[in-house]
Amino acid sequence: MESNQLQGVAVIGGGPAGLMAAEVLAAAGVRVDVYDAMPSVGRKFLLAGRGGMNITHSEPYAAFVARYGSRAADLRPMLDAFKPDDLRAWVHGLGIDTFVGTSGRVFPTEMKAAPMLRAWLHRLRESGVHFHQRHRWLGWAGDGALRFETPDGERTVRCAAVLLALGGASWARLGSDGAWQPLLAARGVELAPLVPANCGFDTAWSVHFAERYAGQPLTTVAIGGRKGQLVVTATGVEGSLIYALSAGIRDRIAAHGSATIALDLLPDWPLERVRQELMHPRGSRSMSSFLQSRLHIKGVKTGLLHEVLDKDAFHDPLRVAAALKALPITLHQPRPIDEAISSAGGVRFEALQGTMLKAMPGVFVAGEMLDWEAPTGGYLLTACFASGQAAGKDILRYLVNPADAA
């Protein structure tokens, strides 16, 4: 076993939270070593940006903070210190221009994460940050040193402070596998179970419906007045609209065994107008043909009506009208956490003083390891960046006076 003595700070996890803390520390002249289990850092960040790098959101700040739900008050100090506009200015400092999309989401002009990450890593290396890839954290040795599994065998590292920024438990193939949970639990750290967030859900489609419509998008639909898009999967539904509501759906399933959503297939049409259209004489046309001509309902939307309504109901104009405005879909379970965009749960804020673990002075936590969740739309990344910056500042105070920080 190799022993390596370091007197600086170890940052374990090379995602946005860890890298932001490393930047704060390096700017203050602290030696920083970033350890990551993967061959390169920022892998989840890069994958998240593959479909268009959504950095943050431009909505009014009070509404922005409210997106963090029950943990908004806990995250508020971090977000106050690094608001969405501050994040956008920071991105500009990397030489990356941004723009606000029609949805209010903020994107880099190139819509890609890779140029931003390359510029950031170059700046970090220029500031003296040291990177150690393929270093999987194994916990602590008996003397308190950090243990790492490396290609050259196990090594131990001593440092003045450590930041854990290991992510949650979604997309384990990119490094966020939740393996840190038992290591912290064994040290008396209070944890909330990790559960999927921004995830799809399973329902009981018939074989015929699943085979015919899996992968089909449901455009311009609504749930509870919220418009968006869904995608029918072989096992249920996923997509931005269901992700935005996933926390409440997941919690209802946990409490009651299932959750039924009312899907509005015609959100721009009032119920009375739908009824009037369907009361027109149908003549010899089939109901499916009639729905297409009067209401432009076809394809997967017609398939959903067949899936939920029995034969008599499908030919009753009033019952079809009611179903078009509130089609009941019962969801039975979220998809596995490794398929989720993010995870909820983790280190409870009650276990922290600032970002430092009360049970382990000198050990700090940031990013998705903390017990919070948010919808997609830039909220996840903003909180990771903000918590990383907060942790970096907390570590600086600790290095100056550990007794005061504790």
Is 301 or 171 the better-scoring residue by pLDDT? 301
86-98 tens-digit pLDDT:
999 999 999 999 9
List, in order, residues 6 or more apart from 154 with CB less than 8 Å away. 1, 2, 138, 147, 148
Give the integer Cα–Cα distance in Å for 11 and 13.
6
H or E element that contains 150: strand 146-150
**CA of residue 25 relative to chain centroid, distance:** 26
Element (H, E) at 72: helix 72-81
Is residue 144 left, alpha or beta, with left meaning phi > 0 and alpha meaning psi from -120 to 50?
left
Residue range 211-236: mean pLDDT, rounded: 95
335: which DSSP letter?
A: P
Question: Residue 33: in which H helix or E strand, if any?
Answer: strand 32-35
- Cα-based distances in Å from 232 to 148, 200, 235, 268: 43, 10, 8, 21
CB 188 within 8 A of CB 358: no
Q: For the residues 179-208, what does the mean pLDDT come to?
A: 96
Q: What is the pLDDT of residue 25?
A: 98
What torsion do the CA atoms of 117, 33, 383, 144 make, to the nearest 10 degrees?
150
- Could you give the domains of the chain? 2-195+343-405 (3.50.50.60), 201-334 (no CATH)
- Measured between alpha carbons, how far is 245 from 261 in angstroms, rounded to an integer? 10
First to last CA, the chain: 32
Per-residue pLDDT averaged across 318-336, rounded?
97
pLDDT surpasses 80 at 405: no
pTM over 0.95: no
User: In whole angstroms, what is the distance from residue 244 CA to residue 376 CA?
Assistant: 7
Number of C-alpha atoms within 13 angstroms, CB side, residue 9?
Answer: 37
Facing residues of 139 across strands? 147
Mean pLDDT of 46-68: 87
CA distance 67 to 357: 25
Query: Which residue, among 303, 326, 330, has the nearest Cα to 314 in the 3D structure?
Result: 303
Per-residue pLDDT reduced to its tens digit, 268-297: 999 999 999 999 988 888 999 999 999 999
Residue range 341-367: mean pLDDT, rounded:
96
The Cα angle at residue 401 between residues 395 and 404, in degrees rounded to 5: 95
